[in-house]
Chains A and B, each alone.
Chain A
Amino acid sequence: DIQMTQSPSSLSASVGDRVTITCRATQTSSAYLNWYQQKLGKAPELLIYSATSLQSGVPSRFSGSVSGTDFTLTISNLHPEDFATYYCQESYSIFRTFGQGTKVEIK
């Protein structure tokens, strides 16, 4: 199965900061890497699909990039509502594996 290593597991940031979260896959294609945001007690919401495509309705301060098997989610100009946990997911394998999650906390 595919292993998804997400880092960091948590980070502290301030409103207005630029935040980057990385997901390293043992095997996948950029077409099959997705990012989700989950707020406490809520369902996940799709932010980015196919590594770089912004889901409809998601603010443009969210962006995704890829370099080989390293995938990055960037939040530019962090808003108060962006404090949440973020997960990557591969939709390449039959396991549809999620990363361990990155909790973005207020500094």
Chain B
Amino acid sequence: QVQLQESGPGLVTPSGTLSLTCSVSGDSISSHNWWSWVRQPPGKGLEWIGEIYHSGMTIYNPSLKSRVTISVDKSKNQFSLNLNSVTAADTAVYFCARARVSLGTSLPDLWGQGIQVTVSS
């Protein structure tokens, strides 16, 4: 049974860096999948942040690209999200997800439970 679990600080100060980790069990991070981050501000819809392949190849949402870094740690079967220069607008539930390869693209087919991150001083 594949499971994904987000971890990291629930509170980040403005202008700081949001850092989250997603631990994967039941599947190898080196499998033929991409690994994604998606967020959801309170009471709002979903926003795709970006994703990474085990080779280290990344794709980022252009609207966040200047502030986002996604990395992978194959030895720990984890991948991580760093979002810098955060503001209150980055307050959201952050989900990690496995994105399976399909027809030359990828789509999230299995999600973690999500972690609430609040940006506040």
Q: How far is the CB of A66 from chain B (nearest CB, A)?
A: 15
CA distance A95 to B112 in the complex (A): 21
Does A44 interact with chain B (Cβ within 8 Å)? Answer: yes
Q: How far is the CB of B45 from chain A (nearest CB, A)?
A: 5
Q: How large is the interface on B (under 10, 10 to 19, 20 to 34, 35 or more residues)?
A: 20 to 34
CA distance A44 to B38 in the complex (A): 10
Does B86 interact with chain A (Cβ within 8 Å)? Answer: no
Q: Which of B24-32, B68-76, B77-85, B103-111 contacts A (4 or more CB under 8 A)?
A: B103-111
Asked if B48 and A45 sit within 8 Å, CB to CB, the answer is no
Does A34 interact with chain B (Cβ within 8 Å)? Answer: yes
Q: How far is the CB of A81 from chain B (nearest CB, A)?
A: 18
Q: How large is the interface on A (under 10, 10 to 19, 20 to 34, 35 or more residues)?
A: 20 to 34
The answer, among B46, B59, B111, B112, for a CB contact under 8 Å with A98, is B46
Given contacts A96-B61, A99-B45, A101-B45, contact A50 B111 (CB under 8 A): no
CA distance A74 to B116 in the complex (A): 31
Given contacts A32-B105, A43-B95, contact A95 B48 (CB under 8 A): yes
Q: Top 8 closest A-B pairs, CB basis?
A: A96-B48, A43-B111, A98-B46, A91-B105, A91-B107, A46-B109, A101-B45, A31-B103
A residues contacting B by CB (< 8 A) are 1, 31-32, 34, 36, 38, 42-46, 49-50, 55, 87, 89, 91-92, 94-101
